[in-house]
């Protein structure tokens, strides 16, 4: 698996709280959130920032699960081919970075949604989020709907990239910056 800018994320930041690649279970997610909670206390992360980090982390992990193209589902076990990194930039802002495999058919949907979000102001993002919650229009079996708006409500920006792998598959990289 190619890892985009992983060294850059570590070298240019004061702290990397968590890095994970592999199978994802509900128990594991609970453990990772407990680990982030300990990091919050240890590093004196403001409660509002911690809440935003946790929410973005959960949403991005759900995206890894939803878009997993090498899924092996047994109860709540997924082989995700995903990576998630949580850390702090030297500028005092935090980041959550994820990468996973998506199909070519998903690239356009994801790109359009994130491009749309990146053109909106904070107020417009919140308004659109409330609208989507009410009508459920953009919710489908793989997401690319309300979850990206949930992330955007808490983010400075959403940066993404796709890299073609083969056989109609792409790596999807998403990095979200969260203010302290």
Asked if residues 110 and 160 have their Cβ atoms less than 8 Å apart, the reply is yes
Measured N-to-C along each axis, helices 104-118 and 146-153 cross at an angle, to the nearest 10 degrees, of: 40
Q: Answer for the pair 18, 94: CB distance below 8 angstroms, yes or no.
A: no
Model pTM? 0.81
* Tens-binned pLDDT, residue by residue, of the chain (180 aa): 444 455 555 555 556 667 777 766 667 778 888 888 877 777 778 888 888 998 999 899 888 877 764 444 555 555 556 788 888 887 778 899 998 888 888 899 999 999 999 999 999 999 999 988 887 655 555 544 689 999 999 998 899 999 998 888 898 999 999 988
């Amino acid at each position: 698996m190619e890892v985009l800018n992983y060294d850059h994320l570590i070298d240019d930041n004061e702290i990397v709280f968590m890095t994970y690649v592999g199978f994802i279970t509900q128990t594991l997610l609970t453990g990772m959130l407990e680990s982030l909670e300990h990091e919050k206390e240890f590093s004196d992360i403001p409660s509002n920032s911690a809440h935003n980090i946790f929410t973005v982390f959960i949403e991005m992990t759900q995206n890894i699960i939803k878009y997993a193209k090498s899924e092996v589902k047994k109860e709540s076990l997924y082989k995700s081919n995903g990576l998630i990194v949580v850390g702090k930039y030297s500028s005092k802002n935090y980041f959550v970075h994820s990468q996973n495999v998506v199909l070519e058919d998903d690239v356009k949907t994801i790109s359009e949604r994130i491009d749309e979000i990146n053109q909106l102001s904070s107020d417009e993002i919140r308004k659109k989020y409330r609208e989507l919650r009410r009508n459920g229009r953009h919710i489908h079996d793989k997401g690319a709907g309300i979850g990206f708006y949930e992330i955007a409500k808490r983010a400075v920006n959403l940066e993404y990239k796709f890299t073609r792998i083969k056989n109609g598959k792409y790596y999807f990289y998403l990095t979200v910056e969260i203010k302290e």
